[in-house]
Chains A and B, each alone.
Chain A
Amino acid sequence: MAGLRAQLERELGPERVLSDALGRMLYEYDGGVDRALPDLVVFPKSREEVVAVMCLTAAAGVPLVARGAGTGLSGGALARTGGVILSLNRMRRVLEVDIENGRAVVEPGVVNLEFSQSIAASGFYFAPDPSSQKACTIGGNVAENSGGPHTLAYGVTVNHVTGLEVVLADGRVIHTGAKALDVPGLDLTGTLVGSEGTLGIATAITLKLTRLPEAARTLLAIFDRVEDAAHTVSAITASGVTPAALEMLDGFSLRAVEAATHAGYPLDSAAVLLIELEGLREEVEDAATAVEAICTTTARSVRVAQDAEERALLWKGRKEAFGAMGRISPNYYVMDGVIPRTRIAEILRSIEAISAGCGLRIGNIFHAGDGNLHPLVFYDARVAGEAERAMRASQEIIRACVAVGGSISGEHGIGMEKDCLMPLIFTPTDLAFMQRLRQAFDPAGRLNPEKVLPSHSCRETTGAVVPG
């Protein structure tokens, strides 16, 4: 590693190669619970420097892990097997904004919300809005195929990327897709988005821009029973109205959120639905009337945000919800299961039972509109055994999601957190096929190894078959 470090320092300059133990510790974790210390962290500023790092690490046979802002929740940006972390947040130029074609080209380190704000005056924005969008990078969004609350109406990151410049594991640079649609050949752009840095590293991303809506309206439906909120989600989904966002917080969670953010959530409710409608003024009014009518069949009340300020406050509560959980518990573990929307009530009952069984509190804050749950299992790592109980409870929740036809990750990615759970939803044949796909891109398996597909540690812990 000393030799590689010297080469990297010659290439990037010593100030952009981090090797001291204290500095590396900052890159030992992301937003989740996993830890893995890298051997080196490098900070390229250009595609050429990424290529150089790729070639040097390839020659040394050292793993390479791309990292954006480190806001991920599945350990995707951690150096699980050591090696070099390629921190891309100094590549943060907006290379082109082409409003007439609804496109922009950005470097991977561009921050999601900052980019949208920078072009807002044009009437357009980048639609994917993860809750971490104030900090997360577009490169990270591409790696994880990020979603967010507005996924319901606008889709996930892959629906908003039309092209990539990618550095492959052997250092070659390719371009997939384009500004134009329907590029001949295989859809490598769609294959790369969401591949969690295991197939290649994007150094420029062609985004599809979305027109800002003329009007938006935010409603807060307040329920005395969690089941009523869950059934209302199904009712709205089935009604033909497609909200831009449909979020749910249970009473336990919203009380913590309210104490931290003063968003105006009612402290005595069992659950709230935060519903956003967007579109033409007249469309929004029609949709709001319809949604209110659906909600009021079982809701205690429905509040409509009166102005932009109130709307922003209600959303602040939701977007900063995870951060607010520190008031409840020194630690929490958040899962990312997905279920059919018609099974929300059933799953929430299961989660309640799991909570009772493990003796740990579990809050629910989630993208109810697309069935993407985020149960937060609260624990105190200082208490012997609680962390393990929290992990077991989380896995039980995921298994419950799969049992009702769901999946193990809606938006956080598999990373190193859930690789051992992949056999819950994919057969050994499926996983072997995905491994062959990975080999086509990275025969040496050097890019973000032991992620996404079951790693060797899974064989020891769960008996999962390591593909390939």
Chain B
Amino acid sequence: MISERQWQELERLLEPGRVQSGCAAPASLDEVAAVVRWAAANQVQVLPGATGDESAIGLDMSGLRRQRFYDPADLTLGCDAGVTAGEVMEWLAAAQQFLPLDVGQPALSLGAILGGHHSGPLRHFFGTVRDAAIGIECVATDGSIVHGGGRVVKNVAGYDLMKLFIGSRGSLGVITGVNFKVSPWPRETETVRLRPADLDAVERVRHWVLHAPLRFLCCELRSDGIAWEVWLRYAGSQRVRERYRTEIATLLPAEPLDESVWSATLAQATGSRFDISVPASAATRVLAALPVGNTASLAGRLGLGVFAIQTQTELSDAEIETWRAVVAEARGFLSVRDARAMPATVRFGAPTHDYELMRRVKRELDSQAVFPDPWGLT
């Protein structure tokens, strides 16, 4: 439990008013470092981007929200981690450029997106933030400021700390800044919807997309729990898009969709939320085997085997294990996004083969045990 004395000590480290309700909102990199050092000294856990409680301090990074540099001609951008996806996309759109930050939540910070390795439909062609990040700045367990990578789009100097920290869920340090290589956004894009009758037809679409010479920006599987849809997005000149339309027409009837569909937020429900990843060719087999009777929504990258499923009602731990067994049989992975507390093995599954090594990395890099341990490594 954090004592009154300790709270007061923390307040003195930051600008007035930046410590409230179990959360610290630093205004600078130095303040982030100070919070972490305080946490280490007081054996308090720091929860980046989360709300704290009586024994852990939440860290609100919205005070670090600068664009550090942007070179449109070099296609590189550097920002504080508190910058939101929406802000980044707005900066880049002015130069007809973008990043794969289409996670459906423009208000989500870069730190949250990087920490959780979130991605969206553009992953099909452009990959994720892990592929786009070229440099990173973090505050480590002892409050030191650490950098990896740099500002250039190709760089093999040193260990790839971007890969290590992205997706680490705050377990190794606080991400405070990131540099990206950005991509040009196509001048003309188009989206069509296919309505495969069943999962066999969905699989035929997946197979066709895999082997076709066409290069789709998005190949998205959507479902409301009743019917299946595949959304295909592509870009190019008028004659390139005509080629796509002609080829797609040989597969299934396609209806044009307004580009705004990609900005729409997915329907939220009160049930459980899962992230599933399987080898792509196993996707429809797994979806057919899942007891998805109460699915509210499904959205995923059909060509990559990555899906997010939202159920109407919350599943029990036993039901989660039933789902997980189906996914595991296909050599895939299932994670649960529910806010409720649950053991790491329920949320992420049994430890994978390399957990012991992850444990060593966690212990070495978070020697002060300041940061969360989502996978139960320690």
Contact = CB atoms under 8 A, between A and B. Distances in A.
Contact of B148 (A199, A339, A430, A432): A430
Contacts of A199: 159
Interface in B209-246: 210-211, 213-215, 236-237, 239-240, 243
A440 B364 contact: yes
Contact of A191 (B75, B159, B215, B305): B159
Contact of A408 (B117, B157, B364): B157
Given A184-B352, A414-B157, A168 B152 contact: no
A388 interface: no
Nearest to B362: A186
Contact of B146 (A100, A242, A433): A433
B150 to A, nearest CB: 5
Contacts of A441: 357, 360-361
A441 B358 CA distance: 9
A422 B157 contact: yes
B38 interface: no
Contacts of A453: 158
B158 A145 contact: no
The size class of the interface chain B forms with chain A is 35 or more
Interface in B196-217: 207, 210-211, 213-215
A168 B148 CA distance: 23
A406 B152 contact: yes
Nearest to A430: B147
A179 interface: yes
Contacts of A84: none
Interface stretch (B252-260, B289-297, B310-318, B329-337): B329-337
Given A155-B131, A338-B154, A182 B74 contact: no
A194 B160 contact: yes
Nearest to A433: B146
Contacts of A100: 207, 210, 280-281
Interface stretch (B42-50, B163-171, B264-272): B163-171
Interface stretch (A170-178, A267-275, A352-360): A170-178
Contacts of A436: 364-365
A342 B74 contact: yes
Contact of B154 (A147, A185, A434): A147
Contacts of A179: 279, 331
10 contacts: A180-B331, A183-B333, A183-B352, A188-B361, A211-B213, A234-B73, A238-B72, A280-B214, A342-B71, A342-B73
Interface of A: 98, 100-103, 123, 144-145, 147, 151, 155-156, 158-159, 168, 172, 174-176, 178-191, 193-195, 199, 211, 213-214, 234, 237-242, 279-280, 282-283, 286, 338-342, 367, 370-372, 405-414, 418, 422, 425-427, 429-434, 436-441, 452-453
Given A211-B211, A372-B154, A430-B158, 5 more contacts: A123-B211, A178-B331, A178-B333, A187-B167, A433-B161
